[in-house]
Amino acid sequence: MKKIRWILIPLLALLLFIPSYVKTIQQGRLLSGVTIVLDSGHGGKDLGASEQGVDEAPLNLAIVKKLETKLKTLGCTVILTRKDENDLASATATNRKKEDMNKRIAIINDEKNDLFISIHMNKYQSESVEGFHVFYKDGTSKLLASYIQENANVALEQDKMITKGNFFILNESRIQGVLIECGFLSNPSDRKNLINESYQNKIVECIADSIIDYFDSKGIN
């Protein structure tokens, strides 16, 4: 009887482990074959929005790095426009901003890419303005923007709508994508949240889940 018990215990443990293992394998294939460009706004001497000693550029990069890790676990190929604190302009650039943005667009518009996500932080003269806000270029990107905004509204307990954006990186891109303003550094609550790692992880989960939703809706997964 004891011998049977010692056989059954490991067998039961194995049976309990299998569903979790299978789920992990399946998740790792959800975005297999998909290539996504993650664009971390600003960089180098261009710190972007700044408020109370909090700068936009490093926050953008922090969220992009977390999102990169998450998407790779889902089987996705990830390309970063900016991999560190520097911008993309050369040392001899006469117009750093122009060269930086043109290089980002060149990376995004490579024909192998499926979509891009550009991460930013916002700032406004009134500190009462707050929230996570998604901008899209056209109808092709509108669906992706809608998924991200809806998931963020639930997770971050807000009520925002997507907006058609007039940004260089949206206007010049040839592939579908969105620009996300993750919050307002000028708003005390947003600012406090955006420097919090657990809040950053919430944002990352919202975006990753929305990308899965988007490709599910197109029958790719």
**What pLDDT was estimated at residue 218?**
80
Instruction: Report pLDDT for 25.
Output: 37
Q: What integer pLDDT is reported at residue 13 of this predicted model? A: 46
CATH class of 31-217: alpha beta
pLDDT score recorded for residue 3:
54
* Sign of the CA dihedral with 19 first, then 24, 29, and 34 last: positive
For residue 221, what pLDDT is reported? 56
Would you state the pLDDT for residue 140?
A: 84
pTM: 0.87
9/195 Cα distance (integer angstroms): 46
Domain spans of the chain, in order of start: 1-30, 31-217
User: Using an 8 Å Cβ cutoff, are 142 and 170 in contact?
Assistant: no
**What are the start-end ranges of the H helices in the chain?**
2-27, 56-73, 96-108, 139-155, 168-171, 188-194, 197-217
Q: What is the pLDDT along the chain (221 residues), one digit of tens a residue?
A: 555 555 555 444 444 444 433 333 344 569 999 999 999 999 999 999 999 999 999 999 999 999 999 999 999 999 999 999 999 999 999 999 999 999 999 999 999 999 999 999 999 999 999 999 999 999 889 999 999 999 999 999 999 999 999 999 999 999 999 999 999 999 999 999 999 999 999 999 999 999 999 999 887 65
Burial label, 161 (beta-carbon count in 10 A; 0-12, 13-18, 19+): exposed
Residue 107 has φ and ψ, to the nearest 5°, of -65, -45
- Give the number of C-alpha atoms closer than 13 A to the C-alpha of residue 173, restricted to the C-beta side: 27
What local confidence, expressed as pLDDT, does residue 219 receive? 72
